[in-house]
A and B are shown apart, each in its own frame.
Chain A
Amino acid sequence: DQQVKQNSPSLSVQEGRISILNCDYTNSMFDYFLWYKKYPAEGPTFLISISSIKDKNEDGRFTVFLNKSAKHLSLHIVPSQPGDSAVYFCAASAVSNFNKFYFGSGTKLNVKP
């Protein structure tokens, strides 16, 4: 049951450059998407979200893009900083059933100084 997929287990980026993390989903009922960041030994922390009525949401250095026809979303971090090094999880839910969130397997981002 892999309804949310993050196909890149890891990504390495130089400080100051753009980090692009990708996420694909299969369930067309999903209409709300979130990105979480997770440091070792901590729980996931919410980063940014987007609903299906938008195709872009921006918050500071973080922008999430949603392509509904491709069932694809991406998180852009510009500029990347060493403190951004963490595991990033994409999650999805349906507004009709917000009691259940589906997570991807995560992408480990390493931002090199």
Chain B
Amino acid sequence: EIVMTQSPATLSVSPGERATLSCRASQSVRSNLAWYQQKPGQAPRLLIYGASTRATGIPARFSGSGSGTEFTLTISSLQSEDFAVYYCQQYNNWSPVFGPGTKVDIK
């Protein structure tokens, strides 16, 4: 089974600053990777699929990059509504596992 890891576990960022989150797969998942945002008490929301394609309605400040085993989610200028937990998920095989998440909180 592919194992997904994310770093850092917690990222403290000031509003307006850039946030860079990392996701790593234990083996290549090509570009078959999605990112989700989850706020407290809410269901996850799809942000990015195909490693770099924004889902419908997702602001341009969110961008994804990477392929193979190394991926990055960048939030170019953090807004108050972006403080949340972010998960990556691979869908390259029939066990679409999630990473452990990165919490982005206010510095």
Asked if chains A and B come from one complex, the reply is no
